[in-house]
Amino acid sequence: MVGEGKSETGMAGAEGTSSPQPPRNHARAWVLARAEKPAEAVKKLWHGDASHMIVRAEVIKGAGPKNIIVPVDAANGDQLKEAVRIIKRDTGDDDPTVAEVTLHYPSRPGEGRDLSPEEGQILGRNGWG
C-alpha cells in the first residue's frame, strides 16, 4: 500500500524518501586515487564478488592530485579494506583518500536519480549508473 504521498518506489515526489539513513549492515565508501595512466587503471578496477563490489571507476578532474574516483559497497569494514587494497594495487596510489559513507539520502540508494548523459534528462532510479 502506498501512503504519505509516496509512489510505489517509495519516493515522495521530488523530495525522495522521508529521512537520511545510515548504510545497512555493510560499509560504503568513495575512494579517490591517483594513477599515472588513469584511463588504463579504471579498466582494471571494475571488480566484484559476494563480499565487496567496486561499483565503477571514473577518471575525474578537480580533486587535487587525485584523478580517479571509485564508489565501493562492501559486506563489512574488513571487506572495504580489501577493496581499498585492490584500488591501491591497480592504481599504484599508496595513499588513496577513503571517504566512508556514514549517512545517505534517500534512505534506499537505489531510489536515487541519474541523468541521461546523452539527453541531460532525469531517468529516475538506477538510470544508467
Between these two residues, 62 and 75, which has the higher pLDDT value? 62
Between these two residues, 28 and 97, which has the higher pLDDT value? 97
- Domain limits of the chain? 21-103
Between these two residues, 53 and 6, which has the higher pLDDT value? 53
Q: Cell numbers 518506489 correspond to what residue?
A: 9
- What the block records as the C-alpha cell of 63 is 580533486
Q: What is the DSSP letter of 25?
A: S
What's residue 114's pLDDT? 52
- Sort residue 11 into left (φ over 0), alpha (ψ -120 to 50) or beta: beta
Q: Cell numbers 581499498 correspond to what residue?
A: 84
| CB 72 within 8 Å of CB 85 | no
* Residues counted in the chain: 129
Q: What is the DSSP letter of 38?
A: H
Helix %, strand %, coil % for the chain, to 5?
20, 30, 45
In this model, does residue 2 exceed pLDDT 50?
no
Tell me which amino acid residue 24 is: R
Dump pLDDT digits (tens) for 65-124: 999 999 998 888 888 999 999 999 999 999 999 999 888 776 655 555 555 556 555 444
In this model, does residue 6 exceed pLDDT 50?
no
Rounded distance between C-alpha atoms, residue 85 and residue 108, angstroms: 27
Instruction: Name the architecture of domain 21-103.
Output: 2-Layer Sandwich (3.30)
